[in-house]
Amino acid sequence: MTEPLNWSITTEQSATSTSDLAKIAATNGAPSGSAFLAIEQTAGRGRHGRHWVSQKGGMYLSVLLRPSLPVNHWFGLSFAASLAVLEAVRGQLANHLSFADMPQTGLKWPNDVIVAGGKISGILLEVENKALIVGSGVNLAPVGQVGSHNIAPIALADIWPDGAGDLPQPYDLATAYLDRLAIWYDRFCQSGFGPIRDAWLENALFLGQRVAVQCDTKALSGVFHDLGMDGTMLLLDDSGQTRHITTGDVKLLGS
């Protein structure tokens, strides 16, 4: 049985990456629940080694976990973390907006958090010294377009309602996120990926729609049909075959 998480947050003004801090802690035997928050990162990174813009004004957090399930099941915590970020961001918006004024929010496979059509957050999993490092970044202050992403970045500041007061501070958003992550982590350790998959699908963008997927040098298109129990995207391609996509960039195609 997994012990309840007791989060311990270490805050740094600047770091190359919060995941670098978590990796050092893992090597030194830090317990599950150790979390590292930076006000800015000088070498933040996302999936496929992409640079993540990390100037002051964002929430840059990595947590160290030691799941009891086998390593080949740990992928599920990427989906759990994206759900936790989504719920934390929704909670902040719901405190200041009516239901009718809430922007569309959802999850883009595999683990991007989308608000009002823009990417507000992403998740990166790394393994170090038998520990799982879950890195997350949430744009609070505005950021510019970076690289050639198919969905532009967005920040909470871009949709923050007039008269709502100051934006949440990184530490406050981090604690809201960790509260939700603790719940999903417990469900994962007790019941595996199934409950997380179900919740992720309830919040999935592009499900049942035609998408293009860029997989390294190969491009595929078809209907986003389902999410596999191994975290793969099940794509019903244009020839009628079901393909299991393990990695790639997804873009919605026009009707």
Q: Could you tell me the pTM of the whole model?
A: 0.91
136 lies in the same domain as 219:
no
28 has a pLDDT exceeding 50: yes
Confidence (pLDDT) at 224 = 97
Shared domain for 193 and 221, answered yes or no, is no
Cis peptide bond upstream of 195, omega within 30:
no
Q: Please report which helix (H) or strand (E) contains residue 163, including its range.
A: none
Final residue of a domain: which of 201, 218, 235?
Answer: 201
Q: Is 250 exposed, middle or buried (0-12, 13-18, 19+ CB in 10 A)?
A: buried
Q: Are 247 and 111 in contact (CB under 8 A)?
A: no
pLDDT digits (tens, 9 = 90+) for 176-228: 999 999 999 999 999 999 999 999 999 999 999 999 998 877 889 999 999 99
Strand partners, 131: 128
- Identify whether residues 197 and 234 lie together within a single domain: no
Predicted pLDDT at 82? 98
**214 part of a folded domain:** yes
Domain boundary among 201, 218, 241: 201
Tell me: do 191 and 210 sit in the same domain.
Answer: no
Asked if residue 70 and residue 195 are part of one domain, the reply reads yes
The type of residue at 171 is: Y
Look up residue 99 and give its two tokens. 């239901």
- Does a structural domain hold residue 1? no
Is the pLDDT at 104 greater than 90? The verdict is yes
Q: What is the mean pLDDT of residues 8-15?
A: 93
Question: Can you give the pLDDT at residue 47?
Answer: 52
Q: How many domains are contained in the chain?
A: 2
Q: Find the domain containing 54 and state its range.
A: 8-201
Mapped onto helix, strand or coil, the DSSP state of residue 84 is helix
One domain, residues 108 and 221:
no
Taking only the tens place, the pLDDT of each residue in 31-86 is: 999 999 999 888 665 554 555 556 777 899 999 999 989 999 999 999 999 999 99
Sign of CA dihedral 138, 17, 67, 73: positive
Which of 201, 217, 232 is the last residue in one of the domains? 201
Between CA 111 and CA 105 the distance in angstroms is 13
C-alpha 58/C-alpha 157 separation (Å) is 10
**Count of CA atoms in the C-beta half-sphere (13 A) of 13:** 0
- DSSP secondary structure string, 45-60? B-GGG-B----TTSEE
